[in-house]
Chains A and B, each alone.
Chain A
């Protein structure tokens, strides 16, 4: 196995173009586990940790441009207020050691349905910035990025450069279910964003379908009911029945399986509870902010 260690982004793209079989590795929290179990034996490893651009984040044109190699620990420390939903998700990732290594770029590259950042990225309408030496940069909405179980929209010569996320106009929430109180892979997860500026709702479901996905109908339903009830203007309390119905519709958007971590029925049940709670917390925060 070859080990490629580019020190600049241009070198990294060139290397990926030359060796499309090279597997990119950042924190290694997914890749090294797969290799240690001999589940993957790529022709080459493309180590991106020397590419300093990937470790930067900045506000660009009103959006956070989050380098693919920014760790969860730094998201929690540096972006907790700016990207609250993603930071909440980051706090649920593994252990302190894992959060010091793991990156959102890596989470997207692995594209596991259980990746903790996906529901938050989906709810926040994040955009993935993808580059190749041959074709330059393209932007892919995160909802279009996940193409199958552990598959994504990257071409063989492409790398993830950054994730673009608009700082939220309204409250965000992230909830996750695990069978212990820390260091656990999600049995199910839910991301929620209240886009108060556009009077819409963002959602993201994790670990309950072949890919991370949105609950599009549920989001449209809730936004519509808020509109119909005049609640965007009045900031009145969220009717409990509405939150419950939203939860039901989120549940209906999922397609989970039974596995060793939980049953499909339990996953569906938890999604309805998490969605109800998350929407209520976000709405209450919105009301308090008035």
Chain B
């Protein structure tokens, strides 16, 4: 996406309009599914109908015989290493002798029309021997469990031990909790276009979250060098973690290289549910020990994540679940075990909130239970136990910037509550809405609170960096900055942030953002709430390098020192304008590329789990108010209010937008969002039966944004995107518990959990 928009304002702290905003609202934005190339053909994927089966043979002859079919490919046609994976190379790009989940890719077809390709795929005969499927992760590590992969079913086990190994406490509360499988439910299905260059290479246009890691994976499978596999970001219709793993990438490239033709692939909605990883379902067993007045003394947690058939980012999700899984509380003695296992269920990986979402339901439910047991207010108990700057968390890491847990939870408590209902109500304001299931009968109001913290950026020693190239030149008498990064814009507003930083650092109004592609160094992943921090940091650093270069040039030309640059003027220490930028630059451009790394993190100790695992922590709190029809189990969220520390709001409107969206996604998990899997098979791969909140389900929000700058981060920013997804769901669940008096130890809370 290129933008040359030149608003009068638009520096840091302003909220300039995003270049894609109007286009998206009016339906004119070009998403990856809109890609088109003359002479292109269409690719489709044949997927396994079985959660676990041996493949004895694949007969493609009938498919190849269909007129209009250009190619039918299997694993035998993979030129490079037939393995993909973000953290473990454990997944074949195309299945070999075994399929390990329903939906695993087995063969590819390219044809002149998508319908021809689909029909051809149906003619492929795969000789499957159905094998017993391991579908209950709670038995994945049993001695007699079948092995999903040759090395067994454990992806990662981590432990954290701190303080007294055998703690006791006067008050002990415990619970088991279960979290269902949530989907990212992005609206733009996986899609892309691979265009061969006729010289042994290709260009892939694709909706993704990290171009460079995709490029590595494409090159490995296709046996190409990076200069021959150039990736370009196509219009992304939402990501939320679901585009970190590959979807069409390798498949479209294989077909394009094989046919010599441009190949487009675009999943249907139902295929999309099989074409990306989901949020890990989790089983959590927690125990908190506390004083008679509710001060936490110890915590024990056992967390099991179902990784499904392939590892994806399970390793890092376990890391997050373990290191962050007790919430933003000071707890002297801690014992945490977190495990991720293989099963024959759908593969699970990254999704907004990444390992913290599941844990937050458990620790927040338990904090409420503790509060009730010791007779302390539910807000007060969080404020009393909440972290503050200068505390150490359960891995022993110093919290060295703001940690306003008490302030956040007290802010949401003190926000105005919705009025109590009086008189006859519009049914659309009641649980069930226009479905007319109540006129007020059975409706009980409940209020719930939750608070969370989340790491920002990649953790546990990962060298997490971004690259920015900034060029400054005179164009038609005006200074113009061009910023190039490969950081993916997936809807979060990075284009605008990059422009704002350039305007602020260089004082220019006109900032062009180059298309996102692999012709510049890696921008890292658009995930972990990290791009404004890391790519923002890289753009800032590149601007500083450009400025230094311009001023060095000016100093040499003018024989002056201590100059500064403001817009198109070179200004002396005393404020005198010494020269224009045009004078200094002439027809030259100053062009600087910077690779910027955030401060390092470290691997945690394998026995104690101690270490500086994370680069930054972000905190948020929610208060939910719900009306529950306790007879029918239907819920209407009346209010969902939040407070969050964002360090520094680069673009305040975009910050609030992230908080709105994240809150809705967290609420969705509490109330309705679940991929239902039975015996390894997905039962609801559609938006008819995988329900996400509509505008009638999502209440208006009061959002209170705090800006306690993090001294270690560029401009003091703190990642924004994920915390609201973590604290909103537990607040909604708590509010439903308050209204119903039910324990509700599983989300999504289904109506029958309330009524039966």
Q: From known contacts A177-B634, A260-B684, infer whether A92 and B689 are also in contact, taking CB-CB under 8 Å.
A: no
Interface set, chain A 222-275, CB cutoff 8 A to B: 260-263, 265-266, 269-270, 273-274
Does the CB pair A180–B697 fall under 8 Å? yes
On chain B, the residues within 8 Å of A38 by CB distance are 118
User: Which of B521-529, B611-619, B747-755 forms contacts with chain A?
Assistant: B747-755
Interface set, chain B 647-706, CB cutoff 8 A to A: 671-672, 676, 683-684, 688-689, 691, 693-697
Pick the contact of B436: A173, A260, A261 (CB < 8 A): A173
On chain B, the residues within 8 Å of A185 by CB distance are 688-689
On chain B, the residues within 8 Å of A261 by CB distance are 689
Mask for A160-186, Cβ within 8 A of B = 1, else 0? 000000000000011111111111110
Does the CB pair B751–A179 fall under 8 Å? yes
On chain B, the residues within 8 Å of A262 by CB distance are 750-752
Mask for A173-212, Cβ within 8 A of B = 1, else 0? 1111111111111010000000000000000000000000
Minimum CB–CB distance for A113 against chain B, Å: 15
State the CA gap A198–B504 with chains docked (Å): 79
User: Which of B75-83, B85-93, B427-435, B591-599 forms contacts with chain A?
Assistant: B427-435
On chain A, the residues within 8 Å of B756 by CB distance are 263, 265-266, 269
Minimum CB–CB distance for B485 against chain A, Å: 38
* B580 at interface, CB cutoff 8 A: no
Closest B-chain residue to A33, C-beta based?
Answer: B688
Pick the contact of A181: B268, B441, B697 (CB < 8 A): B697
* B636 at interface, CB cutoff 8 A: yes
Interface set, chain B 620-641, CB cutoff 8 A to A: 631-634, 636
On chain B, the residues within 8 Å of A266 by CB distance are 633, 751-752, 755-756
* A281 at interface, CB cutoff 8 A: yes
Closest A-chain residue to B748, C-beta based?
Answer: A179
Mask for B289-333, Cβ within 8 A of A = 1, else 0? 000000000000000000000000000000000000000000000
* A108 at interface, CB cutoff 8 A: no
* B438 at interface, CB cutoff 8 A: yes
State the CA gap A37–B118 with chains docked (Å): 11
Does the CB pair A184–B437 fall under 8 Å? no
Minimum CB–CB distance for A204 against chain B, Å: 14
* B270 at interface, CB cutoff 8 A: yes
Does the CB pair A180–B631 fall under 8 Å? no
Minimum CB–CB distance for B756 against chain A, Å: 6
Closest B-chain residue to A91, C-beta based?
Answer: B434
Closest B-chain residue to A266, C-beta based?
Answer: B752
Interface set, chain A 124-181, CB cutoff 8 A to B: 173-181
Minimum CB–CB distance for B421 against chain A, Å: 16
Q: From known contacts A177-B634, A179-B672, A182-B434, infer whether A277 and B752 are also in contact, taking CB-CB under 8 Å.
A: no
Closest B-chain residue to A189, C-beta based?
Answer: B435
Chain A: residues with Cβ within 8 Å of the partner, total of: 32
* B439 at interface, CB cutoff 8 A: yes
State the CA gap A38–B121 with chains docked (Å): 13
Closest B-chain residue to A262, C-beta based?
Answer: B752
On chain A, the residues within 8 Å of B693 by CB distance are 180
Pick the contact of B435: A175, A260, A269 (CB < 8 A): A175
Mask for A87-103, Cβ within 8 A of B = 1, else 0? 01001100000000000
Closest A-chain residue to B698, C-beta based?
Answer: A181
Does the CB pair A180–B751 fall under 8 Å? no
Q: From known contacts A185-B688, A260-B683, A273-B632, infer whether A176 and B752 are also in contact, taking CB-CB under 8 Å.
A: no
Closest B-chain residue to A178, C-beta based?
Answer: B435
Q: Which of B634, B671, B695 has the most CB of A within 10 A?
A: B634
Does the CB pair A182–B270 fall under 8 Å? no
Pick the contact of A92: B434, B438, B633, B755 (CB < 8 A): B434
State the CA gap A179–B428 with chains docked (Å): 14
On chain B, the residues within 8 Å of A273 by CB distance are 437, 442, 631-632
Closest B-chain residue to A268, C-beta based?
Answer: B756
Q: From known contacts A261-B689, A273-B632, infer whether A180 and B671 are also in contact, taking CB-CB under 8 Å.
A: yes
State the CA gap A183–B751 with chains docked (Å): 17
On chain B, the residues within 8 Å of A265 by CB distance are 752, 756
State the CA gap A175–B755 with chains docked (Å): 17
Does the CB pair A92–B431 fall under 8 Å? no
Pick the contact of A281: B439, B636, B672, B683 (CB < 8 A): B439
Q: Which of B433, B437, B694, B756 has the most CB of A within 10 A?
A: B437
Does the CB pair A37–B439 fall under 8 Å? no
State the CA gap A174–B118 with chains docked (Å): 42
Does the CB pair B751–A177 fall under 8 Å? yes
Does the CB pair B437–A180 fall under 8 Å? no
State the CA gap A262–B671 with chains docked (Å): 14
Q: From known contacts A263-B752, A273-B631, infer whether A182 and B694 are also in contact, taking CB-CB under 8 Å.
A: yes
Minimum CB–CB distance for A182 against chain B, Å: 4
Minimum CB–CB distance for B627 against chain A, Å: 11
Interface set, chain B 66-121, CB cutoff 8 A to A: 118
Pick the contact of B697: A37, A91, A176, A182 (CB < 8 A): A182
On chain A, the residues within 8 Å of B438 by CB distance are 277
Minimum CB–CB distance for A112 against chain B, Å: 12
Closest A-chain residue to B438, C-beta based?
Answer: A277
Pick the contact of B691: A37, A180, A269 (CB < 8 A): A180
State the CA gap A174–B435 with chains docked (Å): 8
On chain A, the residues within 8 Å of B671 by CB distance are 179-180
Q: From known contacts A91-B434, A174-B436, A277-B438, infer whether A181 and B632 are also in contact, taking CB-CB under 8 Å.
A: no
Does the CB pair A176–B755 fall under 8 Å? no
Minimum CB–CB distance for B476 against chain A, Å: 46
Does the CB pair B694–A181 fall under 8 Å? yes
State the CA gap A174–B676 with chains docked (Å): 29
Q: From known contacts A260-B684, A260-B689, A281-B439, infer whether A269 and B694 are also in contact, taking CB-CB under 8 Å.
A: no
Does the CB pair B431–A181 fall under 8 Å? yes
State the CA gap A255–B722 with chains docked (Å): 44
Closest B-chain residue to A259, C-beta based?
Answer: B683
Does the CB pair B432–A177 fall under 8 Å? yes
Minimum CB–CB distance for A63 against chain B, Å: 25
On chain B, the residues within 8 Å of A174 by CB distance are 436
Minimum CB–CB distance for B214 against chain A, Å: 29
Interface set, chain B 413-465, CB cutoff 8 A to A: 428, 431-439, 441-442
Closest B-chain residue to A179, C-beta based?
Answer: B672
Minimum CB–CB distance for B687 against chain A, Å: 9
Q: Which of B695, B696, B751 has the most CB of A within 10 A?
A: B751
State the CA gap A23–B752 with chains docked (Å): 38
On chain A, the residues within 8 Å of B691 by CB distance are 179-180, 184
Does the CB pair A181–B636 fall under 8 Å? yes
Minimum CB–CB distance for A265 against chain B, Å: 6
State the CA gap A178–B750 with chains docked (Å): 11
On chain A, the residues within 8 Å of B435 by CB distance are 92, 175-178, 181, 184
Closest B-chain residue to A281, C-beta based?
Answer: B439
Does the CB pair B434–A183 fall under 8 Å? no
State the CA gap A269–B756 with chains docked (Å): 8
On chain A, the residues within 8 Å of B633 by CB distance are 266
A-B residue pairs, 8 tightest by C-beta = A181-B433, A266-B752, A176-B435, A182-B696, A260-B683, A181-B696, A91-B434, A182-B694
Known: A38-B118, A182-B694. 20 other contacts (CB 8 A): A88-B436, A175-B435, A177-B432, A177-B751, A178-B432, A179-B691, A180-B693, A181-B431, A181-B434, A181-B634, A182-B696, A183-B694, A185-B689, A260-B676, A260-B684, A261-B689, A262-B750, A263-B752, A270-B632, A273-B632
- Sample (19) of A-B pairs whose CB atoms are under 8 Å apart: A88-B436, A92-B434, A92-B435, A92-B436, A177-B432, A178-B435, A179-B672, A180-B671, A180-B697, A181-B435, A182-B694, A182-B697, A185-B688, A261-B689, A266-B633, A266-B752, A269-B752, A270-B437, A270-B632
